[in-house]
Amino acid sequence: MSFTIYSTISLFAIIYCTVRPKILNTLELTMIFLVVMYLDSNVMDLVMLNLDRIVLGKTSSDRFTFYLSFIVLYPLIIACSLDHLRKVKAGFAKVLLILLAVFSIVGLENGLKYLQVLTYKNWNWSLDLLQWLCIYMITFFLHYLFRKLVLKELDH
């Protein structure tokens, strides 16, 4: 059940992000995707394996759902959000867009908890919010530096 729900959500997100016009080029989107996957996998390894604060379900459906969401869905949400940020000029709208992306990821993770794909032990949604806000800000900053480096190289 959980795999069906999250694969459908992921499919809609993939279609939406593929069809809509993008400002960021493919290299930037790939870099964002890889940074988010790297940061999220390291944080989840630390939280799940070392701190034992989140327990993953035992069925293969639970594992596929979890990996689908953190390998495809969450990086896709952040990449599309960063692409939308390039279009938005108002500072308040940018903050709102960042918070919308972070809260949607936290909501999807709480959906995993509700569907019993994950079990929280000494972990809660506020720690999820802090985790994803940090991942988003690090990705935003690295994308900014990457873009600055590319533009500097193009000027030479």
Digitized pLDDT (tens) for each residue of the chain, 156 residues in all: 888 888 899 899 889 888 988 888 888 889 999 999 999 989 888 888 878 888 888 888 888 988 889 889 999 999 999 999 988 888 899 999 999 999 999 999 999 888 888 888 888 888 889 999 999 999 999 999 988 888 888 776
Smallest CA-to-CA distance from 119 within 67, 82, 66 is with 66
User: What's residue 2's pLDDT?
Assistant: 82
User: What's residue 127's pLDDT?
Assistant: 87
By CB atoms closer than 10 A (0-12, 13-18, 19+), residue 52 is exposed
Per the structure block, which two tokens stand in for 49?
Answer: 């394996």
Please give the Cα distance from 35 to 40 (Å, whole number): 8
User: What's residue 79's pLDDT?
Assistant: 92
User: What's residue 138's pLDDT?
Assistant: 95
Q: Do strands 118-120 and 54-56 pair parallel, antiparallel, or not at all (unpaired)?
A: antiparallel
Which three-class secondary structure state does DSSP give residue 44?
helix
Instruction: Report the alpha-carbon angle 113-32-89, nearest 5.
Output: 100
